[in-house]
Structure 1
Amino acid sequence: MVSPENIHRILIAVEDSPYSEKAINYGVILAKSLGAKITLVHVDEIPISSPYSADPLLNESPAMIPELMHIQEEASKAFLKRIEDQYGSDVKLSTVTKIGRAQDEILAVADDCKADMIILGTHGRTGFDHFISGSVSQSVARKAKCPVLIIPNPEKK
């Protein structure tokens, strides 16, 4: 059974959005109070299946997938560095960047770092938007081997 004294490693899944900001804040406060370590994971989705991305009607030059992947990777590193700079003096944290399906990579990193808890934010979509976009948080919660704390972020109307 998981109890606060058994939570030593917290995995926080992050993306560069306000949804993650709330999850990070919750995670840092929880980690500080429990003396736990944090691992931040950011997952870059694989862009598109074509090796080129351009609109010939707009006279755009094509960008190769490896170039796009490199740009995504650099943006991920910069994003995680900003979080480290902001919270690194408060708690012990490490970062991981992965490429693939977000829910699969989050679960894999949770296993690798032996997470006692996973924290992630949710967009709070419902209905058709939820059906189309799917729910990473819901999938992670169903398949995780440890407790999952989902920080809701209902969209403002």
Structure 2
Amino acid sequence: MKILIAVGSKEYSGPTLQVGIKVAKAFNASTTIVDVGEKVSEFSTKVVGLTQERMESWDFDRPGVDVLEWAFKYLAENNFIEPQQIEAGFPKTTLVEKDGRRAEVYLKGTVCDDVNLILRNGDIIAELRDEVQTEFYDVMIIGGSGKRRMVHDMIQYIDSSIFVVKNYDPSQEYQILIAVDDSPGTRKAIKYGVRVAQAFGIGVNLLTVSKQDHFGEGYKGAADRAAKFMHRSGIEAKNVFKVGDPAKTIVDTAGDNHIIIMGASTRSPIKKFFKGSKPLDVMENCRCPILIVK
């Protein structure tokens, strides 16, 4: 399992990193923290490289290094990296340059073997998409950006599962809300739900929604299998059946005290454009964190 945690600023990325670390621990995952800084010219990249190689005492960094340094301190405070690396401090002079847009710091983790810090420079969506495609991440964890279209595009065009840390409040008592139906994505969503429930030490509500006042055998069977899987995994779970519009019902049931988990839409981008997508509708209207499993 490989997890990518995307951070964007020291001021607003704390909840994203906090949730990301919890999930990474539950999955025992290889973890990478990435910041996408503003695009730098080829000349600037070379100047930064020369400065780091020859004049380490200069405080001259490429855009985004300060965010990685903040992430390093956060990892250190939570004992997520080896003590000897914490004592040595953030190794910004040893950034490994892979090309003009990507630099990496390798760290030794305490919970999992690999904890890497990545700095990319350029367009946010393009850089994150390239990172996921080339490094084959299973889950990307992002903040609930105020730029709604940006999050929408990430979910639609990035191949990994995406956890949107939307309105996360560490003091809130959450439960998991898993949207259950007879679609292929439900089974994988259930498996992810077990790990997230374990990460937070909380119970699960398995929500099945029908547009009509009738639940077919497919829906009932899916709900029954989900409950049995949860109980075998030692997770406290209960089935909830409601009638209504699926997206609206999920949002209303979740409120602000659930973490929503649901499978991704199987519709093509063209069909999503004309007919919409239930996971995207839920993500745009919910008031809590949401994991869309692909």
* TM-score calculated relative to the size of structure 2: 0.39
In structure 1, list runs of 5 or more residues that go unmatched: 47-68, 153-157
Map of 1:151 onto structure 2: 293
Aligned partners of 1:116 and 1:146 also within 8 Å: yes
In structure 2, list runs of 5 or more residues that go unmatched: 1-14, 16-167
Shift of residue 142, structure 1, vs aligned partner? 0.7
Aligned partners of 1:120 and 1:150 also within 8 Å: yes
* Aligned counterpart for 2:231 among listed residues 63, 78, 88: 88
- The CA RMSD measured in Å over matched residues stands at 2.3
Match for 2:270: what amino acid? F
Which runs of 4 or more aligned residues in structure 1 lie more than 6 Å from their structure 2 counterparts after TM superposition?
none
Map of 2:283 onto structure 1: 141
| 3-state SS of paired residue (1:88) | helix
Map of 1:11 onto structure 2: 177
The structure-2 alpha-carbon separation of the partners of 1:74 and 1:22, relative to structure 1 and needing over 3 Å to count, comes to closer
Q: Work out the percentage of aligned pairs sharing the same amino acid.
A: 31
Map of 2:257 onto structure 1: 115
Aligned partners of 1:5 and 1:34 also within 8 Å: no
Shift of residue 4, structure 1, vs aligned partner? 6.9
Shift of residue 28, structure 1, vs aligned partner? 0.8
* Aligned counterpart for 2:241 among listed residues 77, 97, 101: 97
Aligned partners of 2:176 and 2:205 also within 8 Å: yes
CA deviation map 1:3-60 (0-9, x unaligned): 67856311111111221111111111110222111111111123xxxxxxxxxxxxxx
* TM-score calculated relative to the size of structure 1: 0.69
Aligned partners of 2:181 and 2:218 also within 8 Å: no
Aligned partners of 1:102 and 1:136 also within 8 Å: yes
Structure having greater relative contact order (Cα 8 Å, sep ≥ 6) = 1
